[in-house]
Amino acid sequence: MRGAPAFTADIEALANHLAIAYEALGLGGLHPAMACRYWDMAADLISGNLPRDAKVIAEALALRVHDVGHLDQVAPWEFARHLDVASDVLAEF
């Protein structure tokens, strides 16, 4: 179901949330290149007009985090982690 964008949060708050979820550090504690990676991920999620669906968001995160072209390249146990992060993101944003 398309319609309202998935996120109404600002990019910095979402990027910081993703950094904490994946690196256990906020943006300020990361190397600038890594912080930029999470800024880019957050911007992609916000501008991607994704539906508010944990599975769809987890798929987008998995492809970015693992830098792969297809979900078949992501192990199921790793995808489960992305589902957890996506659920947290939806709950907070």
Q: What span, in angstroms and rounded, lies between the C-alpha atoms of 23 and 57?
A: 18
Residue 42 resides in a domain? yes
Residue 33 resides in a domain? yes
Residue 29 resides in a domain? yes
pLDDT, residue 8, reads: 53
Residue 6 resides in a domain? no
Residue 65 resides in a domain? yes
Q: What span, in angstroms and rounded, lies between the C-alpha atoms of 66 and 90?
A: 21
- Over the chain (93 residues), the average pLDDT of each successive run of 10 is 51 95 96 95 88 94 93 95 96 88
Residue 3 resides in a domain? no
Neighbours of 76 (CB within 10 A): 7
Residue 4 resides in a domain? no
The domain total for the chain is 1
Residue 69 resides in a domain? yes
Q: What span, in angstroms and rounded, lies between the C-alpha atoms of 26 and 16?
A: 5
- Residue 76 makes CB contacts below 8 A (sequence gap 6+) with none
pLDDT, residue 41, reads: 94
Instruction: Note down the domain range covering 63.
Output: 11-92
**pTM, entire model:** 0.84
